[in-house]
Amino acid sequence: MAEQASPMPADRSEAFRWAMAQFNAWRRAGGPEPTVSYQMKDMPISTLCELVIAQGSEPLPHDILPLLPGFLDLTRSHLRHEQDKDQTYRGGARCLLRLTNDRKTGLRRRDELR
């Protein structure tokens, strides 16, 4: 039996959109992991992704769906494949969380080499 899609709360959906925009800016500029405002609290985008994963069976809106592949370079074909298979908020948040964690690891390694 297919999982019933539960509606994504509007404020969480909006915060996820903002997290994607923040990630896009961060991957170009660097610095610490960006935060987004959700329920009047600032939280790292990785924390927001975990919240979205927990309640994200609803399909991603058509205006968000094409943004994720733009974050994936040629070395991330496995993530692109996962995203193609799971086009829900959960799938999008898993992808963004993986990219965020990889970015933090890369920046940490770079800083260690300095």
Higher pLDDT, 26 or 112: 26
pLDDT tens, 80-111? 778 778 889 999 999 999 999 999 998 888 87
The residues spanned by each domain of the chain are 10-113
pTM here is: 0.86
Q: How far is CA 70 from CA 24, 59, 64, 73, 93, in A?
A: 9, 18, 11, 8, 15
pLDDT band at residue 70 using 50, 70 and 90 as cut-offs? confident
Q: Please report, for residues 15, 19, 97, 103, the alpha-carbon distance to residue 40 in angstroms, rounded to integers and kept in the order given.
A: 11, 15, 21, 26
Sign (positive or negative) of CA dihedral 85, 87, 89, 92? positive
